[in-house]
Structure 1
């Protein structure tokens, strides 16, 4: 299994995985991201490690320590297809060309060709995040384990 990590809103960690999965892409409908534009498709962002997950969440908190958050371990089935952004024409200037990364992400999402797309982290480009497509048929097969609820950041990070 491929395991990735996400910190996100989770009011009730006792809910079944399917109920939590149904809500994970909601945040992508509220604003643009590096790899998506608002309105077109839902997308779930996850990180390859717990530490990267914390960094990614932290840079999007605008100085606030968010409430009702959980550290989630997402286990993707062994037989699901995961692709790399380099296979989708990742431009060399991706860090300064948000329009290009959004176009790449939207093209991948619309294709539903794979459950996930590995993309470089803007926070730490040598690390990887995984975009997960809730519209892909394998999405419902993801298993979620709530590792920490509530998740609390180390206060020294704020």
Structure 2
């Protein structure tokens, strides 16, 4: 089993459900990201560790300390196919070529050949994030757990 982490909006104290899992990618349709472009394809970003998850969220909240956040643990069954960005031709200049990383991510999403795609973190390239494709049949097999709600950042980070 592979475990990845995500911090996201959660104002509902109810236990996680398949409906909650289905909404995790909604934000990706509202704007561009490093590995996707705004549009019809949803994508869920998750980090390989709790610490990277917190760092990624902190960098992307534009100086705000977001409210109603939860630390989510996503468990992927061990038989789910996960690919690596290098399998999709990750260019050497990926950090300075956002169009190339978006194109790579969109190609991967459109083909739906795997549940997840391991990509390097822009913040710390030796660490990995996992893109998850909610349109892939194995997505519904993910187990979502809320580890900490509400999640609060250490105020010294702001």
> Which TM class, normalised by the smaller chain length?
over 0.9
TM-score normalised to structure 1 length: 0.98
The equivalent residue for 1:152 is 152
The equivalent residue for 2:25 is 25
The equivalent residue for 2:128 is 128
Offset at 1:22? Answer: 1.1
Q: Deviations over 1:31-56 (max 9, x none)?
A: 10000000130000000000000000
The equivalent residue for 2:113 is 113
Q: In the comparison of the two structures, how many residue pairs are matched?
A: 158
Name stretches of at least 5 consecutive residues in structure 2 with no aligned partner. Answer: none
Offset at 1:86? Answer: 0.1
The equivalent residue for 1:96 is 96
SS in 2 for 1:75: strand
SS in 1 for 2:151: coil
SS in 2 for 1:67: coil
User: How far apart, in 2, do the equivalents of 1:13 and 1:25 lie?
Assistant: 20
Indicate if the aligned counterparts of 1:6 and 1:46 stay in contact, CA closer than 8 A: yes
Indicate if the aligned counterparts of 2:16 and 2:146 stay in contact, CA closer than 8 A: no
User: How far apart, in 1, do the equivalents of 2:40 and 2:55 lie?
Assistant: 26
Aligned-CA RMSD value: 0.8
Counterparts of 1:64-103 in structure 2, within 5 Å, are: 64-103=64-103
Runs of 4+ in 1 over 2 A off after TM superposition: none
